[in-house]
Structure 1
């Protein structure tokens, strides 16, 4: 029997589309080390090549660093799919990346950092704040966990250094968290395209 209504196809896992695309981009970049010099931060070319502010977070030190961040990205996309997904997720990550770069430069003139973890801190904070505004008390637990993680990064991160072969860029994590919090007022109502200027 035909109802006369057009068929609508649903894609139940579409909330994974954005994180999967980002993950694949990170993998491609990791497999092309000759690109890294054009994507990572450089004090001498930052103003002339501002894309580095964002692309440095797509570069990773090694396969362990890459795998850890991509697994975290996919898990966060699943856990917080009710709070942030699709274009909203991308916009939150863009804002978080901006602050994850600005804070280390402003505080300590640090330019040597790569990886997605600072941006992911912003995603978690955005989701946590959004949950609290929705009346979900779990949001407070999420935010408390981020605070504990930041304190750990600043004080007891030697284990990461042994495993990844580099110190944790805790100022990037702090900056990303700040960016995630600041993204809430502008993005929590509806996804917006940050590339398009508001008229």
Structure 2
């Protein structure tokens, strides 16, 4: 069981899930986020992050996730990686649902922004103060996207909002890391 708790087991599970879902294109419409239907269905709050526009999109999101997990492997266990993906994915989707936009999206890029910012915050808190530069660069990039900067690889007009929502989810990850549900329950002594 100890081997399963290492970061790579969670990474492999997530990558296999993404490949499986990519092989099921007839499910994509049902699993995708759409502002007008997401709350009546529920599951797209999570599932939309694990399907992609095409195989290239899936490949680049998978590479991004793999790099984040490998570079900051000291922060990940299988349990925390899966919890972080679920928390960040749900928070990102809920923030986008609350936005006064009607949007549809798939992909992991918002969650990747959240995971990256979470790791940078952890590094800063552990004494690697120079990581502020990278965090500031990431936040500046997202602000530039929100102000209209659109790299040529962007697909859709609302990608900047997805990245911003993911970035905000990093604060939730940092706040909730390694906390147990039982810790939230008061105990009478």
Query: Same fold judged by TM-score > 0.5?
Result: yes
Q: Secondary structure at the match of 2:138?
A: helix
Q: 2:30 aligns with which of 34, 38, 42?
A: 38
TM-fit CA distance, 1:132: 1.3
**Preserved contact between residue 16 and residue 74 of structure 1 (Cα < 8 Å):** no
Q: Contact between 1:56 and 1:115, CA under 8 Å: does it hold in 2?
A: yes
Asked whether the 8 Å contact 1:77–1:85 carries over to 2, the reply is no
CA contact (8 A) 1:53 1:101 kept: yes
Cα RMSD after superposing both structures: 2.6
| Residue 167 of structure 1, CA deviation | 4.2
Task: Please state how far the C-alpha of 1:72 moved relative to its aligned partner.
Answer: 0.6
**Partner residue of 2:18?**
26
Instruction: Give the drift of 1:24.
Output: 1.2
What is the aligned length? 184
Residue from 126, 139, 153 that aligns with 2:131: 139
Q: TM-score, normalised by structure 2?
A: 0.84
For 1:116-145, what per-residue CA distance to the aligned partner results, in whole angstroms no more than 9, with x for missing partners?
A: 010011101111111111111143133123
Q: Is the 8 A contact 1:100 1:171 kept in 2?
A: no
Q: Which has the higher helix share?
A: 2
Q: Which has the larger radius of gyration?
A: 1
Equivalence for 2:176? 186
Residue in 2 aligned with 1:170?
160
Question: Does structure 2 conserve the Cα–Cα contact (< 8 Å) formed by 1:76 and 1:124?
Answer: yes
Range with greater deviation from structure 2 (115-124 or 44-53): 44-53
Helix, strand or coil: the match of 2:74?
A: coil
Query: In the TM superposition, what are the counterparts of 1:1-199 in structure 2 within 5 Å?
Result: 14-154=6-146, 155-161=148-154, 165-167=155-157, 169-187=159-177, 190=178, 192=180, 198-199=184-185
Aligned CA distance change for structure 1 residues 184 and 13 (closer, same or farther; 3 Å): closer
- Tell me the TM-score normalised to structure 1 length: 0.80
CA 1:84–1:15: 2 relative to 1, 3 Å: closer
Q: Cα–Cα, structure 1 residues 38 and 136, in superposed 2: closer, same or farther, change >3 Å?
A: same
Look up the SS of the partner of 1:108 in the other structure.
Answer: coil
**Per-residue CA shift, 1:89-114, capped at 9, x if unaligned?**
22222221122212222223233111
**Unaligned 5+ residue runs, structure 2?**
none
